[in-house]
Amino acid sequence: MEPETLWVKVITSIHASNRKVELIPFKKSMSGVWKNIGEIVKDFTKNNININTNLRSIVGLGDKTLFWIDTWLGNEPLKVQFPNLYLLAVKKKSLVLENYKILNGGRMWDWVWLRAPTSEAEKQEMDNLMGRLQISEHQEFSVKNVKSSLGQRLDLNSAAYVFSWNNWVTGKCTTFVWRAIEEKIASAVALRNRGMNLPDIICKTCGAAEESAVHIPLRCNFAKRTWESVTNWLKIPMVNVEGSLKDLLLEMNEIQRSKGVRKAIYAVAIQTMWILWKTRNERVFKGRQGKVQTVLEEIKEASYPGVKLRSKHGSITRQEWWDFNI
């Protein structure tokens, strides 16, 4: 964008309840009607009125709305609501459309950071942002329409398409697992591959192998012992910890159980990977040594609300879940 160029958001057509919004480039050197439109902002500013705070973008497919800069989620731009994340964002002028992918009927948010959010403030903002995105109800932002629009761009043979969306766990957990499958989490190997100068990329937990996206939630000795405890609790055979995350999830989907129980087991698998990642972060950044039994209890406790509130097992008690009697 040229330094002197501004952008004016204009409703270019109105038909029934459908409004089409376009971004029109506006230069200060222009004359005529567009110059008058652009200078309206100055008149409001002189009277201490910020017109941008009173305008909201209609997202639609997300191909006309700037994710961080436009006001579309809440009453302020996301760069104001989440300043720490905005500083980390590589593409500060990216469109909403550029920050998510459609995967098996679910919307997976995906950003490019200068580095992974690691401070308490950054992680808190990330949690809040994911929560806002999950609960927001934008009628114009139709997953069905987006999926239809992007369908031809997605590789139906890619590994990502074997990933099944499970609404019995939070979107944050599901997003993490999907990103781990795509090798996009901030493991030591991934950070090195992005150009970060790390003196050591060996796993800080087991010290036996490089810390990759698959190593942390599956192949690390601590992860293996956790999966042994989890599968004992679920009353299923031990999972193959030498394969990939994708293979493990496929294995969970093919377990010979009823559809409802199989979905519960799949939800627990996602929750397990997320908590193993959290445990790793606690060890790396705070020096806290996790215990398998403590992790297992956290998995049970964290996975219970999703099954209780979102499944047909609404009458299940906490003790029944802890004993996996469903």
What sign does the dihedral 239-245-247-249 (CA atoms) show? positive
Domain count, the chain: 3
Distance separating alpha carbons of residues 105 and 76, to the nearest angstrom: 29
Same domain flag for 238 and 311: yes
Same domain, 142 and 222: no
Q: Is 163 within 8 Å of 173 (Cβ atoms)? A: no
Query: Which domain-ending residue is among 94, 127, 154?
Result: 154
Taking the CA atoms of the chain, what radius of gyration do you get in angstroms?
23
- Write out the chain's pLDDT in tens, 326 residues: 334 444 444 444 434 334 444 444 555 565 555 556 556 556 556 555 555 554 555 666 778 889 999 888 888 899 999 999 999 999 999 998 898 877 666 677 888 888 888 888 898 898 888 878 875 644 344 445 444 544 544 454 544 444 677 889 998 899 999 999 988 899 999 998 888 888 899 999 999 999 999 999 999 999 999 999 999 999 999 999 999 999 999 999 889 999 999 999 999 999 999 999 999 999 999 999 889 999 999 999 999 999 998 888 889 999 999 999 98
Minimal CA–CA distance to 185: which of 119, 281, 101, 85?
281
- For residues 279, 280, 281, 284, the Cα torsion angle rounded to the nearest 10 degrees is 130
| 285, 216 Cβ separation under 8 angstroms | no
Tell me, what's the pLDDT at 3?
40
Amino acid at 242: E
Which of residues 35, 54, 73 is at a domain's end?
54
> Is residue 255 located within the same domain as residue 194?
yes
Query: What confidence score (pLDDT) does residue 107 get?
Result: 73
Q: Do 45 and 184 fall into the same domain?
A: no
132, 243: one domain:
no
Q: Domain boundary at 154, 181, 202, which?
A: 154
Residues 182 and 317 in one domain: yes
Per-chain mean pLDDT for the chain:
79
Q: What is the largest CA-CA distance in the chain?
A: 75
CB neighbourhood size of 50 (10 A): 10
Q: 10 Å Cβ neighbour count for 155?
A: 8
Do 78 and 224 share a structural domain? no
Amino acid making up residue 114:
L
Distance between CA atoms of 133 and 211, rounded to whole angstroms? Answer: 30
Report the pLDDT value the prediction gives residue 193, as an integer from 0 to 100.
87
Instruction: Please tell me whether residues 21 and 106 are part of one structural domain.
Output: no
Quote the tokens at residue 284.
């790396």
- Domain co-membership, 200 together with 230: yes
Helices and strands in the chain: count of H runs, count of E runs:
12, 4
- Cut 0.75: pTM above it: no
Kindly state whether residues 128 and 164 are assigned to the same domain.
no
The residue count of the chain comes to 326
**Residues 132, 266 within the same domain:** no
| The predicted structure's pLDDT at residue 137 | 40
Backbone phi and psi for residue 71, each to the nearest 5 degrees, phi listed first = -90, 110
> What does each C-alpha distance from 234 to 239, 267, 289 come to in angstroms?
11, 12, 25
- pLDDT for res 226: 98
Distance CA 301, CA 321 (A): 9
Which domain does 15 fall in, by range? 5-54
Same domain? 215 vs 319: yes
